Structure formats: structure tokens, C-alpha cells
């Protein structure tokens, strides 16, 4: 197992749709193990393959939930069905999100309160569950990565302007930028 550098907003792999996984083999299982190790070192609750520069439809998560779903898991080639997303402004105290690929920043974002997730585990066995609340938010956030979207791409106009200013101020938005969990300072101060 190995910790991989986390790509930062502007890296092309983060901004394009990831490819379907075609082989459930030892190489895939090794990648998944590396993703768990990287997520854990980064103190994250989820990590998608594009975030470590791999353009495949895989994400891992580590999040306690009230939905009877194991608190750690992997989704390969997932699909998501969501409930309707409220058109109300997000609550900055209760609905702020962060992302390892937008390190150290957090912005409020409305998400669906319920999702149905289907996909496969690392061995190609079917996985299906429902998620609610923050666990549903995590599933949507990681799934977005597989479609080339970052949470900052979904912000309302006001929050989107703030995020664009922060990206510019940090010098992000260009290829080649990463940070290494466990070596570089934790951008979220964990």
C-alpha cells in the first residue's frame, strides 16, 4: 500500500468524466488499498480515484452513518439516484463542504437528503444501499468527482465567486499541483 499525492483543482483528470472499470483484478484491489490509505492519511471521509490522478470510476469512503451501511467501503462503477434538492440557500453552519482537492477551503452547498447507490465492490460483487443526511452528501460529493465535477462547480453564484477568488489567490486552477497527505501539513488542521 502507498499514499498518493492528492491532485488540486485545475488538474485535468479532476475535470473530465472518469472511465468505467473493466477488470476486477489484483491491480484494482491494490489501487483501492492505496486509496483507503491515502484517504486515511488525509483525514478524509471519501476519496475518488481522479483525486489521486487515476481517471477511473472508483471511490472509497469512511464515514459512520445511521443507514445500516458499513462505515468503510468502496464503490466501483457506481450509479446514484437522488431525492430532489431544495432550492433554498444553503445554511453556512450546517451545510458547508470541503474537498481534499480544494484543500483548506469550505463552502455551503445544498445537496439531496437521500440517495440510492448501486455499484460493485473491489471483487465485482454488486453493492446497493440507501444513504441519508451527511452520508448522502458524501456519496454525492464523491460521485461528482467521477463525472468531472468538484463541489465548487455546484455552488450558488455568491459562494462560487468566493471559491473562484480563493482558487486564484492560492495559485490553483492549473495542472501539476498536488499535496501529499502525511508529509505536507493537513490543510484542514486535523
Residue 115, Cβ neighbours under 10 Å: how many? 22
Question: What per-residue confidence (pLDDT) applies to 190?
Answer: 85
Known binding-site residue numbers: 99, 141, 145
Buried b (16+ CB within 10 A) or exposed e, 25-54: eeebeebbebbbbbbbbbebbbbbbbbbeb
Question: What per-residue confidence (pLDDT) applies to 1?
Answer: 80
Side-by-side strand order, sheet with 46-48: 46-48, 58-62, 72-82, 114-120, 126-132
If phi > 0 it is left, if psi is from -120 to 50 it is alpha, else beta; for residue 23 that is beta
If phi > 0 it is left, if psi is from -120 to 50 it is alpha, else beta; for residue 88 that is beta
- The active-site residue, picked from 37, 97, 105, 142, is 142
The CA distance from 71 to 108, in Å, is: 24
State the cell numbers at 5.
499525492
Go through the domains of the chain in sequence order and give each one's CATH number.
6-84+108-179 (3.90.45.10)
Could you report the average pLDDT of every consecutive run of 10 residues in the chain (190 residues)? 96 98 98 98 98 98 97 98 94 95 97 98 98 98 98 96 97 98 93
Known binding-site residue numbers for Fe cation: 99, 141, 145
Residue 142 known to be catalytic: yes
Question: What per-residue confidence (pLDDT) applies to 159?
Answer: 96
Amino acid at each position: 500500500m502507498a499514499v498518493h499525492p492528492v491532485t488540486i483543482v485545475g488538474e485535468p483528470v479532476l475535470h473530465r468524466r472518469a472511465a468505467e472499470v473493466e477488470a476486477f483484478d489484483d491491480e484494482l484491489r491494490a489501487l483501492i488499498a492505496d486509496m483507503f490509505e491515502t484517504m486515511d492519511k488525509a483525514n478524509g471521509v471519501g476519496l475518488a480515484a481522479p483525486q489521486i490522478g487515476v481517471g477511473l470510476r472508483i471511490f472509497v469512503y469512511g464515514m459512520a452513518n445511521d443507514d445500516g451501511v458499513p462505515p468503510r467501503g468502496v464503490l466501483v462503477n457506481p450509479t446514484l439516484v437522488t431525492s430532489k434538492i431544495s432550492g433554498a440557500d444553503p445554511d453556512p453552519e450546517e451545510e458547508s463542504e470541503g474537498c481534499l482537492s480544494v484543500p483548506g477551503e469550505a463552502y455551503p452547498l445544498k445537496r439531496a437528503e437521500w440517495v440510492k447507490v448501486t455499484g460493485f465492490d473491489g471483487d465485482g460483487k454488486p453493492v446497493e444501499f440507501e444513504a441519508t443526511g451527511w452520508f448522502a452528501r458524501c456519496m454525492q460529493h464523491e460521485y461528482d468527482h467521477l463525472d468531472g465535477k468538484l463541489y465548487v462547480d455546484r455552488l450558488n453564484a455568491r459562494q462560487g465567486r468566493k471559491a473562484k477568488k480563493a482558487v486564484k489567490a492560492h495559485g490553483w486552477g492549473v495542472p501539476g499541483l498536488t499535496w501529499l497527505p502525511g508529509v505536507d501539513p493537513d490543510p484542514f488542521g486535523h
